[in-house]
Amino acid sequence: MTNSIEELGSADVLLVTGSNTTETHPQIGRNILEAVDGGAKLIVIDPRRTDLAKEAHIHLNLRPGTDIALINCMMRIILDEDLADDLFISMRTENFIPLRDYLHRLDLDELSATTGIELKKIHEAACIYARSSKSVICYCLGVTQHSCGTDNVQAVANLAMLTGNVEKKHSGVDPLRGQNNVQGACDMAALPAVLPGYQAITDSAIRDRFQAVWKREIPAVPGLSLTEMTHSGKDGAIRAMFIMGENPLISDPHLSRVQETFENLDFLAVSDIFLTETAQHAHVVFPAASFAEKRGTITNSERRVQLCRQAIPPIANCRPDSEIIMELGKRLDCPGMDFESSDEIMEEISLLTPIYGGMHYDRLEQSHGLQWPCWNRDHEGTEFLHKYYFTRGKGQFTITRHQEPAERPDRTYPYTLVTGRGSYHHYHTATMTRNSKRLVREYPEALLEINAQDAKTLQLQDGEKVELLSRRGKVRITITITDRVQPGTVFSSFHFFEVPINQLTTSVMDPKSKCPEFKVCSVNLQKVKHD
Amino acid sequence: MQNVMTICNYCGCGCGVYLCVDNNRVVGSYPSRNHPISRGNLCSKGWHLHQFIHSRNRLREPLLRKNGELLPVSWDEALDVTADALHKSRERSGPDSIGVLASAKCSNEENYLLQKFTRAGLGTNNIDHCARL
């Protein structure tokens, strides 16, 4: 997030796109609802009528995969209404003229038809967003999990820069990060092309700095991304894997390909707190200590690095992941694997990672954390990003064009399946939440959301089991009839291993971010015949 | 009973939570009033944060596959077998034949260590995690 979570509560206009905030980020959702309570306008872009969409002043229920058309339409309206921030554009951005010319060539009625939303509604939303100087955009995986995910994000950035709604308190572009430490895992370079702090692996000067401390040469060529590894296949490049606390056999797209890879690996080691579906395929399984049994920091969505304190010693014969990694490192002659505490590891992190330069345990212990960039011990951390300048200098406008999703509904597969985290009570592959009695009581089984109109056509009753099929596989799932989804669209979560919804999803991904297109795939529903 | 301040392990909000500890068991969780995100509030997952910690389904011993079955072994055996297999794969098919997945559920320090181990120890940049899922 470029802003802090707290700032959302005092924004005047909140544009939330591709995020079921109240269910997946409840406390951020609370800040949004507090803002609405105080008079702020809420615009929600989502094909589903989520709880947050019900609270919105305008709900733009677009056809899945038409985000760019919608944002382009809003930008054109902003230009036509003379609501662009000319001063901001001239001083802080570049490449505006080509975008302006492109937008002027677009046909508004055509764009509105592409999205399936009436032009009047888009017009109203565009004017509300552009007229305020305290407008903030929150987005989540509904924007990124498309084959054009990178362009979707660029379109959102274009919209914010066009109206000057960045660089200030209460206005910015806020990607909401899913997992408790997905921000930190990215910051720490659990990514194939960067070193900690987003420093390019291809830059030899940066590699030198790390090599001097690590006392080993670092390969200069970027590695494979997650799906490239898990989809590497029977005779793929990946022969052995070590997996720490992840469950790709439920969470990754097009699961039959993941299964093929895992069944043909020479060796798989998994470290986890439960025997996940992935761990069941392993040759070696390490019992890891849970968050309550170790000390360490995690970084939340607003870049706040916070200390998790140890509450109890590891249960049974479990050990923290850090110990497991260091033991393996020592056995493979990797230098620098002899830290005595996580405090010591953070000292090395702050030495090599400029944005974490001022993160030290004594500071984190005495506060509710510090927000990066925090350059040194005297730096107080950063509440919001891009004040005075963008990371790259000037903000760059880039033309984004609407592109249809990889799969479109056809005769055999006439419905569009959208997947996501579908419940307030469960999390991701639900290994933790399904080991919590009360959460299981609240939401015991996987459900497929379907519109009443479609249920009528297919002669389906609420609570009935159906067979859900795509070009890649099929699952059996119970339906729930609801107006949360539009006709032609169905929705389900991937929380339940009994209904591995990712058997159906496509492995098509955004070419730049390698983010799979979880939000659009074509499916069909069939009544389960009883003998 | 002792209350230990920590951060919720579920979503990216990062709420401040107290874990109630009784005789080395975590028996409850409740929100921090002063924490800037939780401000005295938690969602249903946060209020039940302690429930999975002592679950009967937790892994308790290192396991090694012998004759198709995962059986309990000592830490040394599990670590030796793993180090040996990774070493062999590197010797036989090169460092890029190894893939490593880190975790958005683990700490910064653990993710840092794992990518250091992957890059400096194994000699590959094949490391990623579920950031896009």
Q: Which of B53, B92, B104 sits opposite A181 (nearest CB)?
A: B104
The answer to whether A182-371 and A415-527 have equal CATH topology is no
Asked whether residue B7 falls in the same domain as residue B47, the answer is: yes
CB atoms A439 and B45 under 8 Å: yes
Q: How far is CA A97 from CA A38, A75, A164, in A?
A: 38, 13, 16
The mean predicted confidence, pLDDT, of chain A is: 95
CB A455, CB A463: distance < 8 Å: no
Residue B58 or A389, more confident:
B58
Tell me how far apart the alpha carbons of residues A73 and A433 are, in angstroms, rounded to a whole number.
41
Asked whether residue B110 falls in the same domain as residue B80, the answer is: no
Test mutation, A312, A428, A493, A497, chain B, max B CBs within 10 A: A312
For A203-263, list the strands marked E by DSSP: 240-244
Contacts of A441 (CB under 8 A, 6+ apart): none
CA atoms within 13 A on the CB side of A36: 20
Q: What is the pLDDT of residue A529?
A: 77
Asked whether residue B30 falls in the same domain as residue B71, the answer is: no
Nearest CA in chain B to A513: B132
CB atoms A226 and B115 under 8 Å: no
Tell me how far apart the alpha carbons of residues A321 and A15 are, in angstroms, rounded to a whole number.
39
| A-B contacts (CB, under 8 Å) | 428
CB atoms B7 and A238 under 8 Å: no
Q: What is the SS3 assignment for A465-503?
A: EEEEECCCCEEEEEEEECCCCCCCEEEEECCCCCCCHHH
Q: What is the SS3 assignment for A131-153?
A: HCCCEEEEECHHHHCCCCHHHHH
Question: For the domain A182-371, what is the CATH code?
Answer: 3.40.50.740
Nearest CA in chain A to B104: A182
Would you call the peptide bond into A373 cis, given omega within 30 degrees of 0 as the criterion? Answer: yes
The structural domain count of chain B equals 3
Which phi-psi region, left, alpha or beta, contains residue A19 (left: φ > 0; alpha: ψ -120 to 50)?
A: beta
How near does any CA of chain A get to the CA of B53, in Å? 7
- Angle at alpha carbon of residue B36, lines to B35 and B39, rounded to 5°: 65
Judging contacts by C-beta atoms under 8 Å, the chain B residues touching residue A290 are 9, 52-53, 58
CB A3, CB A138: distance < 8 Å: no
Judging contacts by C-beta atoms under 8 Å, the chain A residues touching residue B64 are 283-284
Asked whether residue B86 falls in the same domain as residue B103, the answer is: no
Question: How many other CB atoms are found less than 10 A from the CB of residue A3?
Answer: 23
Q: Is the ipTM of this complex over 0.95?
A: yes
Judging contacts by C-beta atoms under 8 Å, the chain A residues touching residue B94 are none
**Looking up tokens 């200069």, which residue turns up?**
A220
pLDDT tens sequence for chain A (531 residues): 999 999 999 999 999 999 999 999 999 999 999 999 999 999 999 999 999 999 999 999 999 999 999 999 999 999 999 999 999 999 999 999 999 999 999 999 999 999 999 999 999 999 999 999 999 999 999 999 999 999 999 999 999 999 999 988 899 999 999 999 999 999 999 999 999 999 999 999 999 999 999 999 999 999 999 999 999 998 889 999 999 999 999 999 999 999 999 999 999 999 999 999 999 999 999 999 999 999 999 999 999 999 999 999 999 999 999 999 999 999 999 999 999 999 999 999 999 999 999 999 999 999 999 999 999 999 999 999 888 788 888 999 999 999 999 999 999 999 999 999 878 899 999 999 999 999 999 999 999 999 999 999 999 999 999 999 999 999 999 999 999 999 999 999 999 999 999 999 999 999 999 999 999 999 999 999 765
CB A87, CB A94: distance < 8 Å: no
Question: For the domain A415-527, what is the CATH code?
Answer: 2.40.40.20
Crossing angle for the helix pair A321-331 and B108-116, to the nearest 10 degrees: 10
Judging contacts by C-beta atoms under 8 Å, the chain A residues touching residue B21 are 311-312
Question: How many other CB atoms are found less than 10 A from the CB of residue A394?
Answer: 13
Tokens of B33: 């009033």
Burial readout A264-290 (b: 16 or more C-beta within 10 A, e: otherwise): ebebbbbbbbbbbbbbebbbbbbbbbb
Name the residue range of residue B16's domain.
Answer: 2-52
Burial readout A325-340 (b: 16 or more C-beta within 10 A, e: otherwise): bbbbbebbebebbebe
CATH class given for the domain over A5-176: alpha beta
Asked whether residue B118 falls in the same domain as residue B129, the answer is: yes
Q: What is the pTM of this model?
A: 0.95
Q: How far is CA A504 from CA A79, A472, A475, A493, in A?
A: 41, 5, 8, 12
Tokens of A55: 């609270």
Asked whether residue B31 falls in the same domain as residue B19, the answer is: yes
Q: What is the pLDDT of residue A531?
A: 57
How near does any CA of chain B get to the CA of A184, in Å? 6
Is B120 an 8 Å CB contact of chain A? yes
Pairing outcome for strands B63-66 and A284-287: antiparallel
Nearest to A126 by CA among A202, A186, A45: A45
Scan residues 75-94 of B and list those with Cβ closer than 8 Å to A: 75, 78-83, 85-87, 89, 92-93
Can you name the residues that pair with B28 across neighbouring β-strands?
Answer: B20
Classified as helix, coil or strand, A515 is: coil
Q: What is the pLDDT of residue A287?
A: 98
CB atoms B106 and A325 under 8 Å: no
Asked whether residue B105 falls in the same domain as residue B84, the answer is: no
Residue A118, φ and ψ in degrees, nearest 5: -70, 145
Q: How far is CA B101 from CA A232, A517, B111, in A?
A: 14, 20, 10
Tokens of A156: 């959102």
Contacts of A155 (CB under 8 A, 6+ apart): A67, A68, A71, A72, A400
pLDDT range class, residue B131, cuts 50, 70, 90: confident
N-terminal to C-terminal alpha carbon distance within chain B: 39
